[in-house]
Amino acid sequence: MPVFSLDPAQTAWCTELRALAAERLRPLAEKGEPGRVNRPLVAALGELGLIGRLFGAGALDLCLMRESLAQACTEAETALALQGLGAHPVAASGTPEQRARWLPEVTAGRAVAAFALSEPDAGSDAAALALEAAPVGDGWRLTGEKRWISNAPEADFSTVFARTTPGAGARGVTAFLVPADRPGLTGTPLDMLSPHPIGALHFDAVPVTRADVLGEVDRGFRVAMTTLNLFRPSVGAFAVGMAQAALDATLAHTAGRAAFGGVLKDLQAVSHQVAEMATRTEAARLLVYAAAAAYDAGAPDVPKRAAMAKLLATETAQYVVDAAVQLHGARALQRGHLLEHLYREVRAPRIYEGATEVQRTIIAKELYAR
């Protein structure tokens, strides 16, 4: 498939997804409580078959879903992506029992998943994570804290990365599937700039056994990286969807807003700004599609491409949304306006799943490795 254009079936699917997001999902999102898991929304994503499509489908499908949903309903986009992030380790590295127990529930939108890697003292430097897995009998007891975990503390289970071998860095981390009802596990919601379900998880000697391990003991970092390599370009797709929504709103606004005896778009300073926004959005979109296609083709340079796509798309979306706010004037800053919402939403993707600076570090490392 040429990466520079979608085929007609893909284009039609994106149109259908945008319509579903606007007509079916947006009303459910509006009824949700900001910063909380919206279970009716997750259930609708399940009924529509979108969560099921996360597992087994390729990176490009994931990107098209995220971009299309983001254009019409960022809450639906995020709810879908978080089901994928939390449950992908189960799909990719789970035992048949773990998969049978959780994947049908996740896919149906009845079970909510979380991906718990970050800690108060281990964010970008994830290999420094310290959540202790102390051996007890034929299992472990988990003690410590995870923070900035999307869907926590409401998720029904979390993929939790814990330190099984002290001092071993990335090679001493194990991934565990931890159901929310384990004794000793509690959580606290966190209130963010954008309405994102997120919180901290507190582990007080939470028991886990070998049956809870995802993948191999001390090889959990690989589980995390496998998931992040798939999801990184799709964070870029989320950003492209937001940029496109901001661009569409700007086209409509500048074509209709009366100013100086004409409309805003008659001012070349305005129309050139819109042209720049459109060009940068398209460039970001193409880089995202190329990274996703490289992932699906099993290309060797996926880490570099994924990092480039995430970096460029998230930075571009920030630029485009900011420019859209400027061209809308005061109305864009009124609480409840699409751009007020996007202005808050667009900020976090430059930080999570590898901050912009971390993506540059990955790209540079790959370049000099050659």
Ligand X SMILES: Cc1cc2nc3c(=O)[nH]c(=O)nc-3n(C[C@H](O)[C@H](O)[C@H](O)COP(=O)(O)OP(=O)(O)OC[C@H]3O[C@@H](n4cnc5c(N)ncnc54)[C@H](O)[C@@H]3O)c2cc1C
The residues annotated as belonging to the active site are 353
If one asks whether residue 361 binds ligand X (CB under 6 A), the answer comes out as yes
Three-state SS for the chain is: CCCCCCCHHHHHHHHHHHHHHHHHHHHHHHHCCCCCCCHHHHHHHHHCCCCHHHCCCCHHHHHHHHHHHHHHCHHHHHHHHHHHHHHHHHHHHCCHHHHHHHHHHHHHCCCCEEEECCECCECCCHHHCCCEEEEECCEEEEEEEEEEEECCCCCCEEEEEEECCCCCHHHHEEEEEEECCCCCEEEEECCCCCCCCEEEEEEEEEEEEHHHEECCCCEHHHHHHHHHHHHHHHHHHHHHHHHHHHHHHHHHHHHHCEECCEEHHHCHHHHHHHHHHHHHHHHHHHHHHHHHHHHHCCCCCHHHHHHHHHHHHHHHHHHHHHHHHHHHHHHHHCCCCHHHHHHHHCCHHHCCCCCHHHHHHHHHHHHHHC
Q: Which of 196, 202, 285, 328 binds ligand X (CB under 6 A)?
A: 196
Residue 107 engages ligand X in binding (rule: CB under 6 A)? no
The Cα-based distances of 74 to 47, 77, 257, 319, 349 in angstroms read 18, 5, 26, 18, 12
By CB under 6 A, tell whether 116 contacts ligand X: yes
Q: How far is the CB of 174 from ligand X (least distance, A)?
A: 15
- Considering the rule CB under 6 A, would residue 190 count as an interface residue with ligand X? no
Nearest C-alpha neighbor of 77 from the set 34, 39, 117, 42: 42
Residue 348 touches ligand X, criterion: CB under 6 A: yes
> Per the structure block, which two tokens stand in for 158?
């979390």
Question: Rounded distance, CA 266 to CA 258, Å?
Answer: 10
> ω into residue 207 within 30 of 0, thus cis?
no
Tell whether residue 153 is a contact of ligand X (CB under 6 A). no
Q: How far is the CB of 192 from ligand X (least distance, A)?
A: 6
If one asks whether residue 187 binds ligand X (CB under 6 A), the answer comes out as no
Of 264 and 342, nearer to ligand X (C-beta) is: 342
Among the listed residues 149, 206, 287, 332, the single contact to ligand X using CB under 6 A: 149
CA distance linking residue 243 with residue 75, whole number of Å: 15
Task: Provide the minimum distance between the beta carbon of 257 and ligand X in the complex, in angstroms, as a whole number.
Answer: 33
* 228 is a site residue for ligand X (CB under 6 A): no
* Candidate residues 60, 79, 198, 242; the one interacting with ligand X per rule CB under 6 A: 198
| Distance separating alpha carbons of residues 106 and 84, to the nearest angstrom | 9
235 binds ligand X (CB under 6 A): no
Is residue 94 at the binding interface for ligand X, with CB under 6 A as the rule?
no
Window 298-337: contact mask with ligand X (x via CB under 6 A): ----------------------------------------
Instruction: CB nearer to ligand X: give 198 or 324.
Output: 198
Closest-CB residue for ligand X? Answer: 123
Nearer to ligand X, 129 or 240 (CB): 129
Binding segment for ligand X (CB under 6 A), chosen from 129-137, 174-182, 191-199, 313-321, is: 191-199
Could you say whether residue 79 binds ligand X (CB under 6 A)?
Answer: no
123 binds ligand X (CB under 6 A): yes
Binds ligand X (CB under 6 A): choice among 68, 71, 118, 234 = 118
Q: Does 188 bind ligand X (CB under 6 A)?
A: no
224 or 327, CB closer to ligand X? 224
Is residue 148 near ligand X by the rule CB under 6 A? Answer: yes
239 binds ligand X (CB under 6 A): no
- The number of residues that bind ligand X (CB under 6 A) is 19
Task: Work out how close the CB of 149 gets to ligand X at its nearest, in angstroms, rounded to a whole number.
Answer: 5
Among 207, 273, 282, 352, which residue sits at the site for ligand X (rule: CB under 6 A)? Answer: 352
Residue ranges that bind ligand X, judged by CB under 6 A: 115-118, 123-124, 148-150, 192, 196, 198, 348, 351-352, 355, 357-358, 361
